[in-house]
Structure 1
Amino acid sequence: MAENYTDPSGNTEQFRAFAHAPESAAPAAAPSRLPLIVGGVVVVLLVAVVAWLALS
Protein backbone atom coordinates (compact mmCIF):
# COMPACT_ATOMS: atom_id res chain seq x y z
CA MET A 1 0.00 0.00 0.00
CA ALA A 2 1.23 3.51 -0.71
CA GLU A 3 2.78 5.40 2.15
CA ASN A 4 0.57 8.44 1.60
CA TYR A 5 -2.71 6.47 1.77
CA THR A 6 -5.31 8.28 3.87
CA ASP A 7 -7.97 6.11 5.45
CA PRO A 8 -11.35 7.82 4.82
CA SER A 9 -12.53 6.62 8.22
CA GLY A 10 -9.63 8.46 9.88
CA ASN A 11 -11.83 11.34 10.98
CA THR A 12 -15.44 12.40 10.61
CA GLU A 13 -14.81 15.08 7.99
CA GLN A 14 -12.86 12.74 5.71
CA PHE A 15 -15.44 9.99 6.13
CA ARG A 16 -18.34 12.31 5.24
CA ALA A 17 -16.48 13.49 2.14
CA PHE A 18 -15.84 9.86 1.19
CA ALA A 19 -19.42 8.74 1.87
CA HIS A 20 -21.00 11.63 -0.05
CA ALA A 21 -18.62 11.52 -3.01
CA PRO A 22 -20.34 11.35 -6.41
CA GLU A 23 -20.41 7.88 -7.91
CA SER A 24 -18.79 9.00 -11.16
CA ALA A 25 -15.83 6.79 -10.28
CA ALA A 26 -18.11 3.74 -10.36
CA PRO A 27 -17.44 1.30 -13.20
CA ALA A 28 -19.50 1.80 -16.32
CA ALA A 29 -22.39 -0.51 -17.05
CA ALA A 30 -21.49 -3.61 -19.03
CA PRO A 31 -22.19 -3.39 -22.76
CA SER A 32 -25.20 -5.18 -24.18
CA ARG A 33 -24.72 -8.85 -25.05
CA LEU A 34 -27.47 -8.75 -27.67
CA PRO A 35 -25.13 -8.34 -30.69
CA LEU A 36 -23.05 -11.29 -29.48
CA ILE A 37 -26.13 -13.50 -29.11
CA VAL A 38 -27.54 -12.48 -32.51
CA GLY A 39 -24.14 -13.07 -34.14
CA GLY A 40 -23.95 -16.53 -32.56
CA VAL A 41 -27.40 -17.46 -33.85
CA VAL A 42 -26.50 -16.25 -37.35
CA VAL A 43 -23.28 -18.29 -37.34
CA VAL A 44 -25.14 -21.43 -36.22
CA LEU A 45 -27.76 -20.94 -38.95
CA LEU A 46 -25.10 -20.42 -41.62
CA VAL A 47 -23.25 -23.57 -40.55
CA ALA A 48 -26.53 -25.51 -40.62
CA VAL A 49 -27.36 -24.25 -44.13
CA VAL A 50 -23.87 -25.07 -45.45
CA ALA A 51 -24.03 -28.56 -43.90
CA TRP A 52 -27.50 -29.14 -45.35
CA LEU A 53 -26.35 -28.06 -48.80
CA ALA A 54 -23.23 -30.22 -48.57
CA LEU A 55 -25.22 -33.31 -47.59
CA SER A 56 -28.02 -32.90 -50.14
Structure 2
Amino acid sequence: MVTRMAENHTDPSGNTAQFRAFVDAPDTAAAAPTPSRLPLIAGIGAAVVVVALVAWLALA
Protein backbone atom coordinates (compact mmCIF):
# COMPACT_ATOMS: atom_id res chain seq x y z
CA MET A 1 0.00 0.00 0.00
CA VAL A 2 1.41 3.39 -1.04
CA THR A 3 0.58 6.40 1.11
CA ARG A 4 0.82 9.79 -0.55
CA MET A 5 1.31 12.98 1.38
CA ALA A 6 -0.74 16.04 0.59
CA GLU A 7 1.11 18.55 -1.54
CA ASN A 8 0.95 22.03 0.03
CA HIS A 9 3.15 23.79 -2.52
CA THR A 10 1.22 25.43 -5.35
CA ASP A 11 3.20 25.73 -8.55
CA PRO A 12 2.47 29.09 -10.27
CA SER A 13 2.87 27.41 -13.64
CA GLY A 14 0.17 24.89 -12.72
CA ASN A 15 -2.37 26.50 -15.01
CA THR A 16 -2.47 29.48 -17.35
CA ALA A 17 -4.35 31.82 -15.00
CA GLN A 18 -1.94 31.22 -12.12
CA PHE A 19 1.06 31.68 -14.39
CA ARG A 20 -0.24 34.97 -15.81
CA ALA A 21 -0.96 36.27 -12.30
CA PHE A 22 2.58 35.29 -11.27
CA VAL A 23 4.17 37.04 -14.27
CA ASP A 24 2.02 40.18 -13.98
CA ALA A 25 2.69 40.59 -10.24
CA PRO A 26 4.63 43.78 -9.49
CA ASP A 27 8.27 43.31 -8.57
CA THR A 28 8.70 45.13 -5.25
CA ALA A 29 12.51 44.84 -5.25
CA ALA A 30 12.85 46.73 -8.53
CA ALA A 31 10.60 49.55 -7.33
CA ALA A 32 13.00 50.64 -4.56
CA PRO A 33 14.69 53.97 -5.33
CA THR A 34 18.47 53.98 -5.58
CA PRO A 35 20.37 56.21 -3.17
CA SER A 36 22.12 59.33 -4.45
CA ARG A 37 25.79 59.04 -5.49
CA LEU A 38 26.47 62.73 -4.91
CA PRO A 39 28.02 62.30 -1.42
CA LEU A 40 30.36 59.61 -2.73
CA ILE A 41 31.50 61.75 -5.67
CA ALA A 42 31.95 64.81 -3.42
CA GLY A 43 33.98 62.75 -0.92
CA ILE A 44 36.28 61.41 -3.61
CA GLY A 45 36.74 64.91 -5.04
CA ALA A 46 37.58 66.31 -1.59
CA ALA A 47 40.10 63.49 -0.99
CA VAL A 48 41.82 64.23 -4.32
CA VAL A 49 42.04 67.94 -3.43
CA VAL A 50 43.50 67.17 0.02
CA VAL A 51 46.09 64.75 -1.41
CA ALA A 52 47.08 67.28 -4.08
CA LEU A 53 47.40 70.03 -1.45
CA VAL A 54 49.56 67.84 0.80
CA ALA A 55 51.77 66.83 -2.13
CA TRP A 56 52.15 70.48 -3.24
CA LEU A 57 53.09 71.56 0.30
CA ALA A 58 55.54 68.67 0.67
CA LEU A 59 57.32 69.52 -2.61
CA ALA A 60 57.38 73.30 -2.03
Shorter chain as normaliser: what TM range? 0.5 to 0.7
Aligned partner letter, 1:15: F
- CA shift in 2, pair 1:4/1:45, >3 Å: farther
Counterpart of 2:25 in structure 1: which amino acid?
A: A
Percent of pairs with identical residues:
66
Distance across 2 between alignment mates of 1:42 and 1:21:
44
Q: Counterparts of 1:11-26 in structure 2 under 5 Å?
A: 11-23=15-27, 25-26=28-29
Q: Give the deviation of 1:12 after TM superposition.
A: 1.6
Q: TM-score, normalised by structure 2?
A: 0.61
**Higher helix fraction: Structure 1 or Structure 2?**
1
Q: Please give the alpha-carbon distance, in whole angstroms, between the structure 2 residues aligned to 1:43 and 1:4.
A: 57
Of the two, which has the highest radius of gyration? Answer: 2
Q: Which residue in 2 is equivalent to 1:55?
A: 59
Aligned-residue CA RMSD (Å) = 2.2
Gaps of 5+ in 1: none
**How many residue pairs get matched?**
53
Counterpart selection for 1:45 from 45, 49, 53: 49
